Amino acid sequence: MKQSLIRLVITILLACGLALPAFAAALQIDWIELMPADRRATFDPAPPPPVHDYLTGESGGLAARQPLDFSVNMDLEGQEIRIPGFVVPLELDEEGNVTEFFLVPYFGACIHVPPPPPNQMLYVRMKQGIKLDSMYSAYWITGKLSAKTRTTRLGAAAYTLAGTASEEYKF
């Protein structure tokens, strides 16, 4: 009953030409869904332990070693998705808003722990940059997903997301 009412409201809004927020029509996913279905059973979503001595070489440079798994879920290709994560800034606009970034599943990725594998990182470009209130905050990011690899000095992402909306994640 509830779903049919929601569909009716959406149909009426679309028929009237009213725009829906970008996140309303997006498929909400979790990070494990970025993995191919046949790889999910062996996936461990827990972040690796922090490495604080990687600059001394005592840990063998673990923070710089990204596990390289580029396998992707092609069922998500071209989908409008919504996913929560943490922002690792790559580019800022003149107002200081983040316009290009990696979206990662846990705080500290790419800083104190090895980066997640590429299929657990999204390279995001947003025309409307995000004003980060805090590096510790998580965000919902909405946009069109493509299985297009992007590599920077901080790591590689197996997906690219053309970001259209963002909102702070409320716990």
What would the pLDDT profile of 15-73 be if each residue is shown by its tens digit? 444 444 544 589 999 999 999 999 888 888 777 776 665 555 555 554 557 778 899 99
Q: Is residue 5 part of a domain?
A: no
Q: Is residue 98 part of a domain?
A: yes
Q: Is 146 helix (H, G, I), strand (E, B) or coil?
A: strand
Q: Is residue 62 part of a domain?
A: yes
Q: Is the pLDDT of residue 98 over 90?
A: yes
Torsion of CA 62, 109, 73, 23, to 10 degrees: 180
Q: Is residue 34 part of a domain?
A: yes
List, in sequence order, every beta strand (DSSP E) within 15-115.
27-28, 80-92, 98-104
Residue 1: per-residue pLDDT: 52
> Which domain CATH number covers 109?
2.40.50.870
What would the pLDDT profile of 100-159 be if each residue is shown by its tens digit? 999 999 887 655 567 889 999 999 999 899 998 888 899 999 999 999 999 998 889 999
Q: Is residue 11 part of a domain?
A: no
Residue 107: per-residue pLDDT: 84
Q: Is residue 154 part of a domain?
A: yes
Note the pTM of the prediction, 2 decimals: 0.78
- Quote the number of domains for the chain: 1
